[in-house]
Structure 1
Amino acid sequence: MDVKLSQALQQSIFQQMEANFPNEGGGFLLGSRTGDVVSIADVIGVENNFETEEQYHRYAMTPQNWAQMEDTADEQGLSIVGYYHSHPNAPAIPSEYDREHALPNFVYIITSVMAGEAVDMRVWLLQPDRSKFEPVSLSVEP
């Protein structure tokens, strides 16, 4: 599988995640999937709804966020293809918590933000049996 993301959208994610530091931030990936290629057309940040004192290492959105994004995606002729979030002062590798709360068939972009600066972005796909994440290639295009 290959995920295609424009430089502008990558920078948007980086800016959002840096602005949320030292807490986790995140949002929805809107786009399309053709075969093994996921093309990201828009990224929409969503406020972290996890308990305030846990936001430094946890991110959550509400069912209302999901419903609103479904409508937004439909209006744009797109689909929700995944999610993105940050790992403050930690690598861009899924945690056990991420695995337990992830859904198969969606791509997950994780950005490592070290000392307030986005330093790494990786893409992951949860295996159908939910046992683990597998890395996915990312193509950042002009």
Structure 2
Amino acid sequence: MIYLTTTQLQQIRLHAQTTYPQECCGLLLGTLENQHKFVLEVRETENNWSPHTDESLPHLPSSTGQTLSKNNRFSIAPEILLQVQKEVRDRQINLIGIYHSHPDYPAIPSEFDRVIAWPAYSYLIVSVILGKATELQSWILNEHQQFKPEIIKYVA
């Protein structure tokens, strides 16, 4: 289960709308208590995806004829991830998740999302239809490296 404030939800939705038609992405910083993740900060990042990102993923199935771009792919620069991992360690909190948007597509993980996912993180996906953020869902990997829904609780 992951806990977000309405302000954090609004920040993610606004980020998704302002980057449309490209995918937005960002990090969720917070604390872990048993199986509960509490978001303390939403950190917006640049979508750093390039065609070379997919080339570095040998297990990624070939594209189904779709043009790959920031409109249907995202990547967070490794140096940003490293910097944030050091920062959260110093602050004694955790990197608990990653969020991104799906322009004109449901908030359901793609095969690309699954291949790049890390087991300990929550993956929030916000669907943006014609520039308007709609549904938001959270996903976590199960023991078979498949996504399963994660409950989102909104707090004041």
Alignment TM-score > 0.5, same fold: yes
Give the distance between the partners of 1:86 and 1:23, measured in 2 at CA: 8
Task: Give CA-to-partner distance per residue, 1:23-81, whole Å, 9 cap, x none.
Answer: 00111110011111110110101101112860000000121011111133234331100
* Native 8 Å contact 1:105 1:128 kept in 2: no
Q: Is 1:39 the equivalent of 2:53?
A: no
For the aligned residue pairs, the C-alpha RMSD in angstroms reads 1.3
Structure 2 counterpart SS, 1:92: coil
Find the structure with the greater CA-based Rg. 2
Q: Percent identity?
A: 30
Q: Distance in 1 between matches of 2:129 and 2:6?
A: 20
Letter of the 2:133 partner, please give it: A
- Taking the aligned partners of 2:83 and 2:38, their CA distance within structure 1 comes to 21
For residues 99-114 of structure 1, the aligned pairs below 5 Å read 99-114=114-129
Between Structure 1 and Structure 2, how many residues are aligned?
140
Asked if structure 2 preserves the Cα contact closer than 8 Å seen for 1:26 and 1:45, the reply is yes
Higher strand share: 1
- Relative to the length of structure 1, the TM-score reads 0.93
Question: Which residue of the partner structure matches residue 18 of structure 2?
Answer: 19
What CA distance in whole angstroms lies between the structure 2 residues aligned with 1:94 and 1:127? 13
Q: Matched residue of 1:134: which SS?
A: strand
TM-score, structure 2 as length reference: 0.85
Matches within 5 A, 1:57-68: 57-68=72-83
What are structure 1's unaligned runs of at least 5 residues?
A: none
1:44 match: secondary structure: strand
- Mind listing any 5+ residue stretches in structure 2 that lack a counterpart? 52-67
Q: What is the one-letter code of the residue matched to 2:10?
A: Q
Matches within 5 A, 1:1-142: 2-51=1-50, 54-130=69-145, 132-142=146-156
